[in-house]
């Protein structure tokens, strides 16, 4: 019979209670094993390697663009809304004649007029529309004037307007239609475009 020495260290190790690994560690080990398995498969198959690189590029691009996408979309949307609100204000009505745009405009003015048949006892205000030839197209009497109910004064005003010559408004140096407000005061006449 031969003698075999007993290794007490082994026996003491076997006698220790078995410990379960933490769940986080076992999850990390499974992920590492899965990645290693995919890496080995990619080495063997070129199609799998190309698919992996494509997925990796798309993933990285999405991760780079996500923080930029929302501010970019918000900025683009607000720029479109602001442009839509402000652009109509920049539109300039030009005549059909090929003029050089200078940005200059003038209002219709009064060249000469006859006096009213009856001297007004109060101020008379009337809004007139003048065409591009300097002719009266229409007139209106603003509300709140007591003389507007007097048919003699209205007829006298109409005769005055028919005999009045106007200089048309200009837009970029070319005649254009326009509106003016005429105020007839007891002492003088005032025209505002």
- Please check whether residue 165 is in contact with residue 173, taking contact to mean a CB–CB distance below 8 angstroms: no
d(C-alpha 103, C-alpha 58), whole Å: 53
Measure CA 35 to chain center.
50
What pLDDT digit, counting tens, does each position of 12-51 carry?
888 888 888 888 888 899 999 988 887 777 777 777 778 8
> 123 by DSSP, 3-state: which?
coil
* CA-based nearest residue to 136, from 175, 154, 162: 162
What pLDDT digit, counting tens, does each position of 73-97 carry?
888 999 999 888 887 776 655 555 5
The sign of the CA dihedral 62, 67, 68, 73 is positive
**What pTM does this model have?**
0.41
**All domains of the chain in start order, with CATH:** 24-89 (no CATH), 105-192 (3.30.2420)
């Amino acid at each position: 019979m031969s003698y075999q020495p007993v290794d007490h260290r082994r026996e003491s190790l076997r006698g220790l209670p078995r410990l379960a690994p933490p769940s986080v560690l076992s999850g990390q080990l499974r992920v590492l094993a899965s990645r290693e398995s995919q890496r080995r498969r990619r080495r063997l198959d070129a199609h799998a390697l190309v698919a992996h690189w494509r997925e990796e590029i798309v993933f990285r691009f999405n991760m780079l663009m996500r923080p930029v996408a929302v501010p970019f979309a918000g900025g683009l949307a607000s720029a479109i809304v602001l442009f839509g609100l402000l652009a109509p204000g920049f539109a300039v009505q030009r005549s059909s004649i090929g003029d050089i745009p200078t940005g200059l405009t003038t209002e219709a003015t009064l060249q000469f007029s006859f006096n009213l048949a009856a001297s007004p006892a109060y101020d008379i205000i009337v809004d007139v529309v003048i065409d591009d030839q300097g002719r009266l197209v229409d007139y209106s009497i603003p509300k709140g004037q007591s003389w507007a109910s007097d048919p003699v004064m209205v007829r006298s005003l109409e005769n005055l307007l028919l005999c009045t010559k106007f200089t048309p408004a200009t837009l970029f140096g070319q005649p254009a239609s326009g509106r003016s407000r005429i105020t007839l005061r007891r002492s003088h006449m005032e025209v505002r475009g």
